[in-house]
Amino acid sequence: EVLLVESGGGLVQPGGSLRLSCAASGFTFSTYEMNWVRQAPGKGPEWVSYIGSSGSTIYKDSVKGRFTISRDNAKNSLYLQMNSLRVEDTAVYFCARRGAAVAVYDYWGQGTRVTVSS
Amino acid sequence: DIVMTQSPDFLAVSLGERATINCKSSQSVLYSSNNKNYLAWYQQKSGQPPKLLIYWASTRESGVPDRFSGSGSGTDFALTISSLQAEDVAVYYCQQYYSTPRTFGQGTKLEIK
């Protein structure tokens, strides 16, 4: 069974930092492309960042230079380092697996909540 | 960025009746070289993450009941539930994967009338 379990969310002041983690199991993590997708309260999902199986990365414009996605294939884990956090970064952050054959998000974790507030 | 716009925002349908949700993209998501529409639908129940229902605009994900169907091409798409069941109460999102950034619609909340 594919499982994705996020952790690391919490309450942080504007300008602060958080590091999110996603523990993957039930599939060969190293061969899959992974993503972070966030969802602000009452809004639709919003893609944030992508990392390929080889480590290539892509970011949403509004997080470039502030967020860093990474992976540790030996630990079957995905990370998102978030610096210079803004109020508008407040959301539930999901890790999501890209399908093997189709570029959709075929499995999602339960999410971790990030609240940026003073 | 491709903007995805869904209609309606809210939909109330009686049990056993048909429900149709529409999605319009700001530019075509049909890739001419393979004639595929890069459009997916997700279902999100309260307190849960989104669940993939349909991709390539009309291909059901494994395990998705056949009362769910997708249609459309180019810029106009629809998700139809042929006979609404109580467990279908959720918010539904369309998403394009034609270009980066991948973008989602604002969602359609489906309730029982």
For the segment A71-115, what is each residue's pLDDT rounded down to a tens digit?
999 999 999 999 999 999 999 999 999 999 999 999 999 999 999
pLDDT confidence band for B34 (50 / 70 / 90): very high
- Dihedral sign, Cα of residue A42, residue A113, residue A96, residue B34: positive
Chain B partners of A51 at a C-beta cutoff of 8 Å?
Answer: none
Mean pLDDT in chain B?
Answer: 97
Residue A10: the pLDDT is 97
Mean pLDDT of all residues in B27-43: 97
Ranges assigned E (strand) in chain A: 3-7, 10-12, 18-25, 34-39, 46-51, 57-59, 67-72, 77-82, 91-98, 105-108, 112-116
Residues of A in contact with B40 (CB under 8 A): 104
Q: For B49-84, how does the pLDDT look when each residue is reduced to its tens digit (9 = 90+)?
A: 999 999 999 999 999 999 999 999 999 999 999 999
Residue of chain B whose alpha carbon sits nearest to that of A103: B97
Residue A93 parent element (H or E): strand A91-98
Measured in degrees and rounded to the nearest 5, phi and psi for residue A26 equal: 90, 5
Task: Give me the pLDDT at residue B89, please.
Answer: 98
Contact A108 B95 (CB under 8 A): no
Pick from A47, A104, A109: CB nearest B101: A47
- Min Cα distance A57 → chain B (Å) is 12
pLDDT of residue A75: 97
Whole-number mean pLDDT of chain A? Answer: 97
